[in-house]
Structure 1
Amino acid sequence: MSTDESIKNVTIKLGDLLNDTDGASPAAKEPKVEKAEKQDSKEEATDENLINSTHTVQVKLADQQADPNSPLYSIKSFDDLGLAPELLKGIYNMKFNKPSKIQERALPLLLQNPPRNLIGQSQSGTGKTAAFVLTMLSRVDKSIPAPQALCLAPSRELARQIMDVVELMGKFSDITTSIVVKDSWSRDRPITGQVVVGTPGSVFDVMRRKLLPVKNIKTFVLDEADNMLDQGGLGDQTFRIQGLVPKNAQSVLFSATFPDHVRRFAERFARNANEISLKREELSVDSIKQFYVDCDSEQHKYEVLVNLYDLLTVSQSIIFCKQRNTADNIATRMTDQGHSVVALHGQMAPDERDKVMDDFRRGEFKVLITTNVIARGIDIMQVSLVVNYDLPLDKSGYPDYEAYLHRIGRTGRFGRTGVSINFVHDRESWEKMTMIEEHFHRNIERIPTDNWEEVEQKLKKVL
């Protein structure tokens, strides 16, 4: 049998979140993939948090022994995974009643023994963080008081969010944790947590200083790999870190998108890996209503933003700017006018960034003005409106479609209704917005700026 023939591809419909209307295994229901897919397409979400998604998950198995008809190939309950009782208790305490579709397929592959590498393409909001966190916790030998699982994230905000999930899921176990981001550890104190989460620069620094023992690391996870590669040097740092951990450590990589350079990186990072991937051309956010406002100038953009303030505070909102000085300037001007807003960008002190994110999560501020520093991976359930004050552009000045997708993906979380508003102020920005519209094959509706009562009525209908 050829290599191609030995690879089994199974396609199922992705229903993004926690519930499924039918508890039977797809393999048990329909031995043929075509029938299982047809059956899945009939399932309807019965809970308001569910997404009726048209996305498909493709599973490519790196060996011939993983049988799609095996009951362990796809699981319908966390009880089927043979987890330690304290981890099961942690999962159910987090209100994860049953696996999401991505977890159904990923967890048996992640938890199999001997461990196998995995490459996963999955947007945030599908349960992928819980899947790799559960994998890390499951691999820990509690009798060894040293790092055994390592997860890298591209930003301190995402690293802290992942650590929150680790601590919640491991709440009833004795597993210890350490977070390694800038200014989070004593310069001379060894890292002893059994599960370590950090950013590449900080983790490599502590490894270089011999403060992070690596000989017991069994699981190495990389989250948001596409974002990692967009930031100069982080990809190289990741490979240097991988060169220090044991060669037999299980490598797990997740990325929301897989352009060619990410694909090459992933295949080098996690060799001979099982794969779970979402078709790239189907990446879109259907639950988000997209609008644009046609402004006269940069100054008019600010005036429109101020006029939108009451709508921005209906729940919580994020305003994305191209440059940090724009974010600071808008935040200062709006604060001076008595509006409750806060700015966040990469040049702020680490403890200040942490405080801003914690305050925003608690709802102490309803409006966050930021750069792309939190465009990816950050889950704040209350966010219902995203404003692209400046459209995201790549280094060549063309629309950055993936950054746009990640930005507007901060709203409409877990199937909730979300709204994005793009600010256009000249012919060039209008053309860029039109390119985004054509790329995603989604209409972006114009909002007039001469009748705010009409604007309010239109937006409140979808918020």
Structure 2
Amino acid sequence: MSDDWGAIVNDQEKNLLQQVVGLKIESKTAGNASRTVSKESPGGRGDYVEPKVEASAAGEDEEQSVSKEEESLLRKLLHSKLVSTKADLEILQKDPNSPLYSVKTFEALPLKPELLKGVYDMGFNAPSKIQETALPILLADPPTNMIAQSQSGTGKTAAFVLTMLSRVNPSRDYTQCLCLAPTYELALQIGSVTEKMAKNMPNVRIGYAVKGEKIARGEKSTDHILIGTPGTVCDWCLKFKSIDPKKLVVFVLDEADVMIATQGHQDQSIRIQRQLSKGCQMLLFSATYEDDVMKFAQAMIPNNPVVIKLRREEESLDNIRQFYVQCTDQEAKFQALSNIYGAMSIGQSMIFCATRRTAHWLSEKMTKDGHAVALLSGDLDIAQRAAIINRFRDGKEKVLITTNVSARGIDVEMVTVVVNFDMPILQESRQADCETYLHRIGRTGRFGKKGLAINMIDGNKSLQVMKAIEKHFNRAIHHLDADDIEALEKIST
């Protein structure tokens, strides 16, 4: 493999960097000298940027796949502040010697006074659910390896930053803690949290191994904590010999599902991990873990890691009532939808379409009918998507029309109705996509609330898809007559 193996990843970072705007992040160069990384934008959080929608002659129906990196960035933009979660944590403990208890205050943790002050200065009054469970394990001696899942905005970054700052020894003039992030912007965000938390620890140096940061071959990094992207960090470790992986005491993979699922990042992360000493504490944090990724993560981290997972709320369909409406064609589906919205009391709803063309068509039709509609499709950049989702989350629009691809990574709690204007199908086999169906309707009926899912059926194919979904989940989907106003009013109560 070529020494310049980070070039492709760096190009990916550059492309994503051009998309992410509206961020102003404090970061530092070596020696704790502050600098500001700022990007001008007409559309930060809450600022709506009206997208220009121009249907092209070719490919207008095709939605480009959203990369894991883009999903990760979108989650970060949407969860800029700490949010609470009611999801239960599942702890899979392999090491009987590691502690298993939770704390309700930061004072109950073995934190240095200057670090504790930094925590409170940042506005953390009490540990979040992930913090109160993970931190006693992370800060205990001897160090314990961990694979941890928590939603964005629940304090997972602060948890591993506290771990790094607790383990670092400022009297040693070399890099001791290394944190990998999948993109340039995410690395800067982690660095911003680290610098704020360490503001009362002036002897701790925090540096960045990202594109644009230069280091000479053979020059040793003297930053105690280094935060970077895989390609650059790999070069610094293996090509320039600026970091000695054997001296690392903490190694962190943030957004680990992105790292592991992306081939280039996966290879680079493995090469770095193989150089670590047995005593290095290895941590994988992420908002999401697919089963195959979790299996890989557990294989990658030796020595009996503690695994903390969120119980999947969306796996329960008990709180969601499911219906289908029989229609003849797309126009009939719209008429049925109009009847439903006219007769039922609907708070916020999401409508899923198979193609960009259908999403735009439906958005125009519903807007003309007087509905406050937000449209989410693949022709929007990340900042526009974040602004639109935040407006919807704030209740400025009541209806969010989206394609399935564009909706990945979105979590809006107040949705009461989900409409499948088109049933989800697998692209290659054209069979029912049960996982996507579950993920779609799982956006309603959360936290014990009643939810409603309505499926628009316009032919034998979509009916077969619905029947396959019924069979897969062993849940009946009941017929609904969209012309029966009394029936519509009844299910909305």
Which secondary structure does the structure 1 equivalent of 2:147 belong to?
Answer: strand
Q: SS in structure 1 opposite 2:323? A: strand
TM-score (normalizing by structure 2): 0.58
Partner SS, residue 371 of structure 2: coil
In the alignment, what sits opposite 2:347?
A: 315
Partner of 1:222: 255
Deviation of 1:282 after TM superposition, in Å, equals: 10
Aligned ranges 1:13-412 → 2 under 5 Å? 57=90, 59-61=92-94, 63-66=95-98, 72-75=99-102, 77-79=104-106, 80-82=108-110, 84-87=116-119, 100=129, 105-120=133-148, 130=154, 132-141=156-165, 149-151=179-181, 174=199, 218-222=251-255, 225=257, 234-243=261-270, 247=276, 248=280, 250-254=282-286, 258-259=290-291, 261-272=292-303, 273-276=305-308, 283-310=315-342, 314-373=346-405, 375-394=407-426, 395-412=428-445
Shift of 1:438: 2.6
Report the counterpart of residue 450 of structure 2 in structure 1: 417
Measured against aligned partners, the alpha-carbon deviations of 1:287-327 in whole angstroms (never above 9, x if no partner) come to 33333222232322222223333578832211122222322
SS for the counterpart of 2:101 is: coil
Q: 1:432 aligns with which of 453, 460, 465?
A: 465
Larger radius of gyration: 2
1:369 to partner: Cα distance: 1.1
Return the alpha-carbon distance in structure 2 between the equivalents of residues 363 and 281 of structure 1.
23
User: Runs of 5+ in structure 1 lacking a partner?
Assistant: 1-48, 67-71, 179-184, 198-202
Question: Which amino acid in structure 1 is aligned with residue 411 of structure 2?
Answer: D
How many residues end up aligned between the 2 structures? Answer: 369
Consecutive unaligned residues of structure 2, counting only runs of 5 or more, are 1-83, 215-222, 237-241
Contact 1:76–1:99 under 8 Å retained in 2? no
Q: Tell me which amino acid in the other structure corresponds to 1:75.
A: S
CA shift digits 1:361-405 (9 cap, x unpaired): 222211111123454553323222222222222232222222222
- Cα deviation code 1:47-84 (max 9, x no counterpart): xx998x9x9946131x3423xxxxx4121524444463
Residue identity matched to 1:415:
G
> In structure 1, how many angstroms separate the alpha carbons of the residues matched to 2:101 and 2:386?
38
Q: 1:87 to 1:452 in 2, by over 3 A?
A: farther
| AA in 2 matched with 1:368 | L
CA spacing shift, 1:251–1:121, aligned 2, 3 Å: closer
Q: Cα offset for 1:341?
A: 0.9
- Structure 2 CA distance, aligned partners of 1:287 and 1:196? 43
Q: Write the distance in 2 (CA, Å) between the matches of 1:385 and 1:242.
A: 41
Distance 1:311 1:352 in 2: 32
Contact 1:295 1:426 in 2 (8 A): yes
Cα drift, residue 444 of structure 1: 2.6
The one-letter amino acid paired with 1:445 is H
- The 1:207–1:172 alpha-carbon spacing in structure 2 relative to 1, beyond 3 Å, is closer
Q: Relative to 1, partners in 2 of residues 1:91 and 1:351: Cα closer, same or farther, differing over 3 Å?
A: closer
What residue number does 1:36 align with? none
Structure 2 residue matching 1:308: 3-state secondary structure: helix
3-state DSSP of counterpart to 1:130 = coil
Cα pair distance change 1:152/1:189, threshold 3 Å = closer
Q: Check whether the contact 1:90–1:169 (CA below 8 A) recurs between aligned residues.
A: no
Q: Percent identity?
A: 30
Question: 1:14-37, CA deviations, whole angstroms, 9 ceiling, x for partnerless residues?
Answer: xxxxxxxxxxxxxxxxxxxxxxxx
Q: Quick one: which amino acid aligns to residue 154 of structure 2? A: A
Amino acid at match of 1:74: Y
Q: 3-state SS of the aligned residue for 2:471?
A: helix
Deviation at 1:92, TM superposition (A): 5.8
Deviation at residue 284 of structure 1 after TM alignment:
2.4
- Tell me how far apart the structure 2 counterparts of residues 380 and 263 of structure 1 sit (CA, whole Å): 25
Amino acid of the residue matched to residue 253 of structure 2?
Answer: F
CA contact (8 A) 1:91 1:169 kept: no
Question: Contact between 1:375 and 1:403, CA under 8 Å: does it hold in 2?
Answer: no
* 3-state secondary structure, aligned to 1:384: strand
- 1:314, 1:365 → 2: CA distance? 12
